[in-house]
Amino acid sequence: MFSYNKFLEFPVKVSKPNPRLANVVITQYGGPNGELGASLRYLSQRYTMPDEVSKGLLTDIGTEELAHLEIVGSLVAQLSKNAPPKEWSEMGSWEYYSDNGASVFPQSSQGSPFNAASIAVTGDPLTNLYEDLAAEQKARAVYDNILKLSDDPDVNEVIKFLRQREVVHFQRFGEALDKMQANLQHKKIYANGIKKECDCK
């Protein structure tokens, strides 16, 4: 069960519109390495985790990613608000503006709508955790790229906070992976395409 607080995890207050920058930031709303995909990935993976601790971890981080989705959405909305249509046309975003106006639509910065095919939910706990580690690193890398493109201090403070949370998530998934591997009594071994069970000490 989720509990909703009517304030952002990190405050967003942009002083001037910048639809070009909004078009960059929006990739972390609905892009392949964004917050929407992350929340769906973790909240879906939790059902096949082998213990309550790992289930709780995925629930916690998946829920926080929803909070980050709200932060990114607020950032895009403020960067887009009151920007004249001419600015959208000058940056080559006629198509986005004609379909969505200055609203927030889940897509990548290249204009590809959100697609759940960008997430992986395998049912294998170890595979899922390796996927999660990679996902957090990719999200962190995207935030690094945004910081290189942005010269807006209001935006950069928000992006730095989100980037740091990706680093924390990566560390927590790494700890969970270490514990799960240490607790495994039977490991699956694949030899010549045949699965075997063995006691691997």
**Which sequence spans correspond to the domains of the chain?**
19-199
User: pLDDT tens, 96-125?
Assistant: 778 888 889 999 999 899 999 989 999 899
Share of the chain above pLDDT 90, in %: 67
pLDDT at 191 over 80: no
Cβ–Cβ contacts within 10 Å for residue 185, how many?
Answer: 7
User: pLDDT tens, 27-52?
Assistant: 999 999 999 999 999 999 999 998 99
The two tokens of residue 18 are 């910048």
Q: Map tokens 């909070």 to a residue.
A: 67
Nearest CA to 15 among 100, 89, 88, 78?
Answer: 78
pLDDT at 200 over 60: no
Task: State in words which class domain 19-199 has.
Answer: mainly alpha
How far, rounded to the nearest angstrom, does the alpha carbon of residue 184 sit from its chain's CA centroid?
A: 29
Average pLDDT over the chain, rounded to an integer:
88
Identify whether the C-beta of residue 74 lies closer than 8 Å to the C-beta of residue 66: no
The two tokens of residue 14 are 């942009």
Question: For the residues 161-167, what does the mean pLDDT come to?
Answer: 98
Q: What pLDDT was estimated at residue 187?
A: 58
- What is the distance between the terminal CA atoms of the chain, rounded to a whole angstrom? 39
Burial group, residue 16, by CB count within 10 angstroms (0-12, 13-18, 19+): exposed
Q: What pLDDT was estimated at residue 131?
A: 96
Q: Is 95 helix (H, G, I), strand (E, B) or coil?
A: helix
Whats the size of the chain, residue-wise?
Answer: 201
Q: What pLDDT was estimated at residue 199?
A: 47
pLDDT at 88 over 90: no
